[in-house]
């Protein structure tokens, strides 16, 4: 959806997922939504607002399509802030498509991705951070991610950002008055008090940013690559961590030819596991492709588990795998697998393989992976976390808060250097703009286009 496009016409879309279901919803929003809904249902009178009305739905040729529940919500007390009509039909894709086509034939146009939520933002029903939370609620991969998104939709982040922005605006107004008026009319600000206020705001931003690492992990997850030479037990480790037989396990080296991807929940954070093909030199063209994909998975990972077979001496292929892990320079855990068998390799033997990496012992075939789970908690920063819901869960918000913090730091330096108020105000104004990008006061059309283009159609 291009935010510069008209937002005064009427739009329609299927608001429920693709495929068959018990119920499917066609949503219509805009000035003609009531007229279109009445036309489709052949109603002689307006439906009572916010009441469900059983109705038959017809196409333009007066052919019956479905029986549905019609709900009409006049603006501004609706999701979009406009008149909204929803038809809850039987959830067959053919019926839904015909109802939507009939709405479009009656004068609506197809809604773009996220256009309903964009209109809610433009009409003041949601601020930008709350609008983004709508998409996060839909896509939440874990209960913790859902809770973070729900709190953001309820305004937890917006309230905190709004308070800080208001405080910055108050400072800015005082400084601009000092610049614009004579000293007799507006006395100079107390510089010690100004410095103290900037310090307080800076600390509030630091406190908010301290939650960003966990929040972003809760929202997006952490990608972990299981890497090693063939037949060291990577697939068995994946199955043990998932507590299911997702990967095929055999004693034949090279069984895994492609990168397998599955997720599990670790303390509310979705861990995306990549089980990779064994890293070794090979002339088999199919296995070569698998090794190349393993290398790409390694590059795209946030953390790596280098898996070694502790029941046999280290081989050249183990060194090859370890060298690739060192080159990738990712946070790494060394897993000495097959601890249930007599040891041929101990932790001291692999220090050169991955310097400073924690070494854990596992027996994947027995689902003995507790040490690995605990090491993952430490490597990705979960160990010691308070487990509370993060205030900041978006890279975009993190970057805006960081800019606001840096702008206030610049303003504080100007105060310390006894610079005039108009120079101090430059940093404060920058913080106001950065914070406004989070809630939407400073949002550009390009930014809105990027944000809402990631929404699904119908939301």
Segment 1-54, tens digit of pLDDT: 444 455 789 999 999 988 888 899 999 999 999 999 999 999 989 999 999 999
Residue 319 CA to residue 336 CA, distance in Å, equals: 14
In the predicted model, what is the mean pLDDT of residues 121-129?
A: 95
pLDDT (0 to 100) of residue 181 = 65
- For 294-353, the pLDDT digits (tens) are 677 788 888 999 999 999 999 888 888 888 888 888 899 999 999 999 989 888 888 888
- For 252-277, the pLDDT digits (tens) are 444 444 568 888 888 888 898 888 76
Q: Is residue 443 scored above 60 in pLDDT?
A: yes
In the predicted model, what is the mean pLDDT of residues 201-225?
A: 90
**Longest CA pairwise span in the chain (Å):** 88
- Per-residue pLDDT band at 407 (split at 50, 70, 90): very high
Residue 245 CA to residue 369 CA, distance in Å, equals: 15
β-strand pairing of 11-14 with 21-29: antiparallel
Q: Which superfamily is assigned to 134-211+392-439 in CATH?
A: tRNA modification GTPase MnmE domain 2 (1.20.120.430)
Q: Tokens representing 97? A: 């498509």
Q: Which superfamily is assigned to 11-125 in CATH?
A: Probable tRNA modification gtpase trme; domain 1 (3.30.1360.120)
Domain ranges of the chain: 11-125, 134-211+392-439, 219-379
Q: Is residue 250 scored above 90 in pLDDT?
A: no
Q: Is residue 164 scored above 90 in pLDDT?
A: yes
| CB contact at 8 A, 310 and 361 | yes
- For 177-187, the pLDDT digits (tens) are 776 666 656 67
Residue 87 CA to residue 65 CA, distance in Å, equals: 12
Q: Residue 263, Cβ neighbours under 10 Å: how many?
A: 15
Q: Residue 391: how many CA atoms within 13 Å on its side-chain side? A: 17
For 309-348, letters b (16+ CB in 10 Å) and e give bbbbebeebbebbbebbbebebbbbbbbbbbeeeeebeee
pLDDT (0 to 100) of residue 103 = 97
Residue 291 CA to residue 86 CA, distance in Å, equals: 51
Q: Which superfamily is assigned to 219-379 in CATH?
A: P-loop containing nucleotide triphosphate hydrolases (3.40.50.300)
Instruction: Report the side by side order of strands in the sheet with 303-309.
Output: 260-266, 269-275, 222-227, 303-309, 332-337, 359-361
Q: Residue 156: how many CA atoms within 13 Å on its side-chain side? A: 14
β-strand pairing of 359-361 with 332-337: parallel
Q: What percent of the chain has pLDDT over 90?
A: 53
- Under DSSP, the state recorded for 271 is E
Q: Tokens representing 458? A: 């119908």
Number of H helices, E strands in the chain: 15, 12
Residue 289 CA to residue 269 CA, distance in Å, equals: 31
**Which residues are within 8 A (CB) of 323 and not within 5 positions of it... i.e. 6 or more apart?**
none
Q: What percent of the chain has pLDDT over 70?
A: 88
**Which residues are within 8 A (CB) of 331 and not within 5 positions of it... i.e. 6 or more apart?**
302, 303, 304, 379, 380
Q: Is residue 287 scored above 70 in pLDDT?
A: no
Q: Choose between 416 and 245: higher pLDDT.
A: 416
pLDDT (0 to 100) of residue 235 = 86
**Which residues are within 8 A (CB) of 329 and not within 5 positions of it... i.e. 6 or more apart?**
none
CA dihedral 13, 445, 452, 153 (to 10 degrees): -110
Sign of the C-alpha dihedral computed for residues 205, 210, 215 and 220 taken in this order: positive
Q: Is residue 387 scored above 60 in pLDDT?
A: no
Q: How far apart are the first and last CA of the chain?
A: 12
Closest CA to 354 of 373, 335, 374: 335
| CB contact at 8 A, 239 and 364 | yes
| CB contact at 8 A, 235 and 248 | yes
- For 412-422, the pLDDT digits (tens) are 999 999 998 88
Going from the C-alpha of 219 to that of each of 43, 405, 449, the distances in angstroms are 45, 23, 21
- For 358-373, the pLDDT digits (tens) are 999 999 888 899 999 9
Q: What is the full DSSP assignment across 22-60?
A: EEEEEEEESTTHHHHHHHHHT-SSPPPTT-EEEEEEE-T
**Long-range Cβ contacts of 48-54 (<8 Å, 24+ apart):** 48/72, 49/73, 49/74, 52/88
| CB contact at 8 A, 334 and 306 | yes
Q: Is residue 153 scored above 80 in pLDDT?
A: yes
Q: Which residue has the tokens 């052919």?
A: 63
SS3 content of the chain, % helix, strand, coil (to 5): 45, 15, 35
């Amino acid at each position: 959806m291009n935010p510069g496009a008209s937002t005064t016409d009427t739009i329609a879309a299927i608001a429920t997922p693709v495929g068959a279901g018990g119920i499917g919803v066609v949503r219509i929003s805009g000035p003609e939504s009531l007229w279109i809904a009445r036309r489709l249902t052949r109603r002689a009178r307006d439906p009572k607002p916010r009441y469900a009305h059983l109705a038959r739905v017809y196409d333009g040729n007066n052919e019956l399509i479905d029986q549905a529940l019609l709900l009409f919500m006049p603006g501004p007390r609706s999701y979009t802030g406009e008149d909204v009509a929803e038809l809850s039909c039987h959830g067959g894709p053919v019926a839904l498509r015909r109802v939507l086509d009939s709405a479009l034939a009656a004068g609506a146009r197809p809604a773009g991705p996220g256009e309903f939520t964009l209109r809610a933002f433009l009409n003041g029903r949601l601020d930008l951070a709350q609008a983004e939370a709508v998409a996060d609620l839909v896509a939440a991969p874990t209960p913790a991610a859902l809770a973070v998104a729900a709190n953001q939709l309820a305004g937890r982040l917006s309230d905190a950002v709004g308070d800080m922005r208001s405080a910055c605006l108050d400072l800015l107004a005082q400084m601009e008055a000092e610049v614009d008026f004579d000293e007799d009319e507006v006395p100079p600000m107390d510089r010690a008090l100004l410095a103290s206020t900037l310090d307080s705001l800076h600390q509030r931003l630091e406190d908010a940013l301290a939650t960003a690492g966990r929040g972003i992990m809760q929202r997006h997850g952490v990608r972990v690559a299981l890497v090693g030479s063939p037949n060291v037990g990577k697939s068995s480790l994946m199955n043990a961590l998932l507590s299911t037989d997702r990967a095929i396990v055999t004693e034949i080296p090279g069984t895994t030819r492609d990168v397998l991807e599955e997720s599990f929940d670790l303390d509310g954070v979705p861990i995306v596991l990549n089980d990779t093909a064994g890293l070794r030199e090979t002339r088999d063209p199919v296995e070569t492709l698998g090794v190349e994909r393993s290398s790409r998975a390694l590059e795209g990972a946030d953390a790596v588990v280098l898996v070694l077979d502790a029941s046999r001496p280290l081989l050249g292929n183990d060194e090859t795998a370890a060298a690739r892990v060192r080159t990738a320079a990712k946070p790494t855990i060394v897993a000495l697998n097959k601890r249930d068998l007599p040891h041929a390799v101990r932790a001291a033997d692999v220090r050169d393989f991955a310097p400073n990496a924690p070494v854990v012992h596992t027996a994947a075939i027995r689902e003995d992976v507790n040490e690995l789970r605990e090491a993952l908690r430490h490597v990705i920063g979960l160990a010691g976390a308070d487990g509370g819901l993060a205030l900041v869960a978006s890279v975009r918000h993190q970057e805006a808060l960081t800019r606001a913090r840096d702008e206030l730091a610049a303003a504080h330096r100007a105060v310390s250097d006894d610079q005039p108020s108009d120079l101090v105000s430059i940093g404060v104004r920058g913080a106001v703009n950065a914070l406004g990008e989070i809630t939407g006061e400073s949002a550009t059309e390009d930014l809105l286009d990027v944000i809402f283009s990631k929404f699904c159609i119908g939301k």
